[in-house]
Amino acid sequence: MGTMWISYVYNSSYGLLHNIFKTIGLNKLSETLWTGPGHLFWSMLVAYCFGMVGYHMLIFMASIEQIPKDYHEAAQIEGANIVQRFFYITLPFLRGCFRTNIVMWTVFTVAFFVWGQLFSPVNLSYATVAPMNYMYEIVFGSSSSAATVRDSGAGAAIGVIMMIIVIIAFSLTNLIVKNDDVEL
């Protein structure tokens, strides 16, 4: 996904953004280097969000398909409109799905490692550094310096902090989205 965005969307010579902006007459935007230092973080963030929407929507679609159609039919017979059926039938059945998606999103966001490596593969850029990238650089040595400094203790501390962030997000999600799932 990241390679597709770098090569085919953000390319300043033949990328999708280049062609769209050139077609509508915005030549300055069409020549913008979207993966340059000034735009790198936002370009990476847009690509990441675009890629994650499909992943999370797939989980939502699978959960929606598991909702028995009898509930919707019974509510429709009783006179419930589509908005009422959504709020009183669909959303309660999706509580577990919301919890799963929030926790998975947190884990993926904290670990953002692959995206940072794709958007700045040689030297870690300040625009693409994430906790996992920073931990990797500390433990296995800096890619931009001649002298390799390895600090396993600092890397382990970063790993523990990332674990604590995920645990806090999981705990908050469990508090906000109660575990009173509707039985099927």
In this structure, are residues 115 and 132 in contact, taking their beta carbons and an 8 Å threshold? Answer: no
Q: Is residue 13 part of a domain?
A: no
Q: Is residue 64 part of a domain?
A: yes
0.85 exceeded by pTM: no
pLDDT tens for 35-90 read: 887 888 888 888 888 888 888 899 999 999 999 999 999 999 999 999 999 999 99
Q: Is residue 39 part of a domain?
A: yes
Round the average pLDDT of the chain to a whole number and report it.
83
139 vs 148: CA distance, rounded Å: 10
% of the chain exceeding 70 in pLDDT: 90
86 vs 72: CA distance, rounded Å: 9
Between 33 and 82, where is the model more confident?
82
Q: How far is CA 10 from CA 26, 31, 64, 67, 127, in A?
A: 15, 10, 34, 40, 16
So what's the pLDDT on residue 111? 64
Q: Is residue 10 part of a domain?
A: no
Q: What total number of domains does the chain contain?
A: 1
So what's the pLDDT on residue 57? 92
CA atoms in the 13 A half-sphere facing the CB of 7:
5
In this structure, are residues 135 and 151 in contact, taking their beta carbons and an 8 Å threshold? Answer: no
23 vs 17: CA distance, rounded Å: 10
Domain residues for the domain of 89 are: 35-176
Among 126-130, 162-166, 170-174, the least confident range: 126-130
Nearest C-alpha neighbor of 131 from the set 168, 98, 167, 164:
164
Q: Is residue 72 part of a domain?
A: yes
Nearest C-alpha neighbor of 123 from the set 37, 6, 20, 30:
37
Q: Is residue 4 part of a domain?
A: no
Q: Is residue 142 part of a domain?
A: yes
Q: Is residue 8 part of a domain?
A: no
Q: What's the rounded mean pLDDT across residues 117-126?
A: 72
